A and B are shown apart, each in its own frame.
Chain A
C-alpha cells in the first residue's frame, strides 16, 4: 500500500448543505489527488443515505468514514451522524462519541482542528452554508496552522450565519462563490 496522503480538504456545512455540496463535489474529477473530509449536519435518520446520494452523482468514490481506516486520495468521506470525525497525523480516521460541541455532533470544529494539527499548511478548509456557528473556530485553526481558509459568500448562501461567523473568526479567509470554490479545488495538484 502507498503511504497515506499528506494533505487534505475539509468541508463543513449545515442548513442548505446538501445543495451546496451537490454544486461542489460532482465537479471534482475522478483523479482528484486529495482526500476530502466532510461534516454535514443532517437529521440522524437521514445521514446514512448521504454517501449513496453523492456517490451516484460524483466521479469520486464517496463513503461514510469508518473508525481506524486510513484515508486515500480521491475519496470523499462523510462523518456518520452522532459521531465526531477526527483525523490523526498518520492519516487514520477516528470517530468519537464525545459530548456534542455547540450542540453539534459531528462537529465541524472538531474535524477542522484535528486536521489543522495533522496537516498544517497542506490543508484546505471550507465553510459553506449553515444556520449556526459551528466551524468558525475550526476555520480559524486551519488558517492559524498555515492552511488555506475558504468561505462561501454569505450573500449567496442558503443560510448565511455559518459562513458569516467563519469569516468573522478568520480574517485570512477568502470569501468566494461556490463556482470559484470549485475552480480552486480543481486547481489543486498532487504536489
Chain B
C-alpha cells in the first residue's frame, strides 16, 4: 500500500530527530507515537508534521518540549500495589542474602517508582546496602526524579497504593508537606545514581540483582523490545530478577527462554542459567 503523506512525514521527523539529536523513536510502536506527534502538531499550532520537523531541527529549545509529547510520563507511587507486595514477599527474601545490592529502575519517569522502591527497601532493612540506578531519556523527568517533589493532591492515591502493597510504615513518614507539595526525604536517595540512559541506543553499565522496567517497553515495537530485554539479560547477575509492567510480558520476545516466570501474575521473571 502506498504510504500516506502524513506517515511519510512522521518517518522523516523521527529520522531527523535521530540524526540531529540522537533521540531514536524510529522503532517505537508506531500507532501510538503517531497519535502523540499529531497532538504535538496541534499543540504547537503547526500546519503539518513537516513544519514541526523544521522547527525542531532549527530550534533546539523545541526538543525538550517535543520530548514531553513523545514520551509518556503517566506514573504513580506503588503503581499496581500487588507488584510491590510480590517484591516484598517473594523477591526481597532472596536479595537479603547478598551483602550489597544493585537495583536498576529503567524508565523512572519523575521518580515515583524509584521512591516506592526505596521506601520498600527501607522498610525491609535493605536500603543501606543498595545502590539504585534510576535512568530515563527525558531530562525533565530525571530532574523531577532527583527533586522528589509531588503535588499534594497525588498523595492520597500514593498512600492508598502504599498501604495495599503491604507497607509497614506510614507514607507520611517519608515526606514533608510544603505549600501543597510533598517533598520526599533526601535520605531515600543517598544511594541513587540518576542518569540519562536509553534502552534503545545505550549499553550495559553495571551488574544488577534486580531490574524494574515497567510501562516502557510497551511503547516499543517488538524488535526494540528484544533489544531492551537482551540488555536486561546481560545486566543481570546469576538468577537476577526482572519485573515488567502488569500488561507487558516476555512471551513475545526473542529472549523469552532466557528467563523463567518467577511470579507470573506480577510479571516478575528470573534469569535462567544456561
Residues of chain A at the chain B interface (Cβ within 8 Å) = 66-69, 80, 83-84, 86-89, 92, 94-99, 110, 113-114, 117-118, 120
Q: In the complex, what's the smallest C-beta–C-beta distance from B68 to chain A, in angstroms?
A: 12
Q: In the complex, what's the smallest C-beta–C-beta distance from A49 to chain B, in angstroms?
A: 15
Q: In the complex, what's the smallest C-beta–C-beta distance from B21 to chain A, in angstroms?
A: 23
Say yes or no: is B247 at the interface (Cβ < 8 Å to chain A). Answer: yes
Partner pick for A110 among B35, B72, B219, CB 8 A cutoff? B35
Contact A68 B225 (CB under 8 A): yes
Partner pick for A87 among B1, B31, B74, CB 8 A cutoff? B31
Residues of B within 8 A of A118 (CB): 31
Contact A98 B247 (CB under 8 A): no
Q: In the complex, what's the smallest C-beta–C-beta distance from A3 to chain B, in angstroms?
A: 14
Partner pick for B247 among A80, A88, A92, A117, CB 8 A cutoff? A80
State the CA gap A83–B215 with chains docked (Å).
11
State the CA gap A84–B74 with chains docked (Å).
13
State the CA gap A113–B221 with chains docked (Å).
19
State the CA gap A94–B72 with chains docked (Å).
14
Contact A94 B29 (CB under 8 A): yes
Contact A86 B31 (CB under 8 A): yes
- Interface-centre pick from A67, A110, A114 (highest chain B CB count, 10 A): A67
B208-257 interface with A by 8 A CB criterion:
215, 218-219, 221-222, 225, 245, 247-249, 251-252
Contact A68 B31 (CB under 8 A): no
Residues of A within 8 A of B1 (CB): 120
Contact A96 B218 (CB under 8 A): yes
Residues of B within 8 A of A67 (CB): 218, 247-249, 252
- Interface SS of chain B: helix, strand, loop or mixed? loop
B176-235 interface with A by 8 A CB criterion:
215, 218-219, 221-222, 225
State the CA gap A96–B35 with chains docked (Å).
11
Residues of A within 8 A of B74 (CB): 97-99
> Given A96-B32, A114-B31, A117-B34, are A66 and B222 also a contact pair (CB < 8 Å)?
no
> Given A67-B249, A88-B30, are A113 and B35 also a contact pair (CB < 8 Å)?
yes
Say yes or no: is B36 at the interface (Cβ < 8 Å to chain A). Answer: yes
Residues of B within 8 A of A120 (CB): 1
Question: Closest chain B residue to A6 by CB distance?
Answer: B1
Residues of A within 8 A of B251 (CB): 66
Partner pick for A68 among B30, B34, B215, B252, CB 8 A cutoff? B252
Q: List 20 A–B pairs whose Cβ atoms lie within 8 Å, in order of A's numbering.
A: A66-B251, A66-B252, A67-B248, A67-B252, A68-B222, A84-B32, A86-B31, A87-B31, A88-B29, A94-B31, A94-B32, A94-B218, A96-B32, A97-B74, A98-B35, A99-B74, A110-B35, A114-B31, A117-B34, A118-B31
Q: In the complex, what's the smallest C-beta–C-beta distance from B1 to chain A, in angstroms?
A: 8
Contact B252 A69 (CB under 8 A): yes
Contact A98 B248 (CB under 8 A): no
Partner pick for B249 among A66, A92, A98, CB 8 A cutoff? A66
Question: Closest chain B residue to A101 by CB distance?
Answer: B35
Residues of B within 8 A of A69 (CB): 252
Residues of B within 8 A of A83 (CB): 247
Q: What are the 7 tightest A-B residue pairs by CB atom distance, in nearest-first order?
A: A114-B31, A86-B31, A94-B29, A68-B252, A96-B32, A95-B247, A97-B74
Residues of A within 8 A of B29 (CB): 86, 88, 92, 94, 96
Residues of B within 8 A of A86 (CB): 29, 31-32, 35
Q: In the complex, what's the smallest C-beta–C-beta distance from A53 to chain B, in angstroms?
A: 20
Question: Closest chain B residue to A118 by CB distance?
Answer: B31
State the CA gap A69–B1 with chains docked (Å).
22
Question: Closest chain A residue to B220 by CB distance?
Answer: A68
Question: Closest chain A residue to B248 by CB distance?
Answer: A67
Residues of A within 8 A of B30 (CB): 88-89
B16-44 interface with A by 8 A CB criterion:
29-32, 34-36
Q: In the complex, what's the smallest C-beta–C-beta distance from B259 to chain A, in angstroms?
A: 16
